[in-house]
Structure 1
Amino acid sequence: MGTKSRGIFWIFIFSNLMLSTKCSSFMKNAKISTRIVQTRYGRLQGLVVPMDQHRYLKPIEVFLGVPYATPPVQSNRFSPTRTPSPWDGVRVSDKPGPVCPQKLPDITNETAALEKMPKGRLEYLKRLLPYLKNQSEDCLYLNIYAPAQGKPFRIFLYRSQSRRS
């Protein structure tokens, strides 16, 4: 397995572990990290999450709600994204940002919902709904998961520039 394939494989495994573990139980033992990370836009302090339910996994550092672009609201609504404004001080990244607006299926009547979707999807939606309540057009945030101990890493985000003729 090549390096790129191996990386994709572990991202797939990790994301499935996160989805299969209830997020509230996953984050319940999280503690504010002592490490402060310098980014181009300011300093971040995240959470250290022990992987208690998975004994062979090492703790991870989680940075929730990290802005990666200016909010697409008001005059920015229909324009290309721009880099976020720098912030002063240390930004504690302990809460996810809002999710983008979306129409959620009505699952209040479980019998009617099961006519439209499989039981597994209904159960999955029930687990996700608390995290989808906070919706806003200002939704351009990242949740970053990294090894709690180890070498620094760099994330590259590809951003296409729309060209006008």
Structure 2
Amino acid sequence: MLPATVIIVVVVFAVSLVVPPISSAGSASSSGSGSSSSSISNSMDENESLKKTTSSRIVHTKYGSVSGTIEHLDGRHLDPVEAFRGIPYASPPVGNLRFMPPVTGALWSGVKKADRFSPVCPQRLPDIYNETAALERMPRGRLEYLRRLLPYLRNQSEDCLYLNIYVPTQVAGKDNEMSKCGRRGVQAFPINNI
């Protein structure tokens, strides 16, 4: 069984090399320069909503094509991001693969819609229903954090080897510091069990 450690993966690409500017009035395209394993085509739907928009940009990987969503974070001073949720990075660890190291995932055909969180690995959920008892074991800030996190931890399965990838978008005409900084690598942040 895999350790019950959650890993948040943040992938930051060079906006100037991989993510072409997104405009709400039309479409842009990229020849896929800067990456030999993926080629990217880009266009935005004109009927985008303010909160969450389905991205019509398709990213081609060596396992198949994916499309995500554009996330607009209201009330914060953050730029929109393109989110790709629930992308499998290995075969499900069930049956003969249970208790074994991860095995490369299968290829898929068509475009995988990467717009939903996949199940998390099985883990014991914290008992925070009795606020008084919970505050004896943890500070109030951690309790509030767990209350926000708990809905995402309820959907558990041994088939839990998925990535959520967030890529910064660049609004057309806006000079973004990311475009000047060059390519970024993958950053993984392990989080201790709850």
Q: Do these two structures clear the TM 0.5 threshold for a shared fold by scoring above it?
A: yes
Q: Specify every segment of 5 or more residues in structure 1 that has no aligned partner in the other structure, as ranges.
A: 1-10, 12-27, 158-165
Task: Tell me how large the CA RMSD over aligned residues is.
Answer: 2.6
Say yes or no: does 1:29 pair with 2:46. Answer: no
- Residue matched to 2:76: 54
**Structure 1 residue runs of 4 or more that deviate by more than 3 Å after TM superposition:** 153-157
Offset at residue 114 of structure 1 (A): 1.2
Q: Choose the corresponding residue for 1:130, options 147, 151, 154.
A: 151
Say which structure is richer in strand. 2
User: Which residues of 2 match residues 97-112 of structure 1 at below 5 A?
Assistant: 97-112=118-133
- Residue matched to 2:84: 63
How many residue pairs get aligned? The number is 131
Per the normalisation by structure 1, the TM-score is 0.71
Say which structure is richer in helix. 1
Q: What amino acid does structure 2 have at the position aligned with 1:127?
A: R
Say yes or no: does 1:113 pair with 2:126. Answer: no
Q: Choose the corresponding residue for 2:60, options 21, 31, 38.
A: 38
Per the normalisation by structure 2, the TM-score is 0.61
CA 1:156/1:85 → structure 2, altered by over 3 Å: closer, same or farther?
farther
CA distance in 2, matches of 1:147, 1:107: 34
Q: For CA contacts below 8 A with separation 6 or more, give which structure has more relative contact order.
A: 2
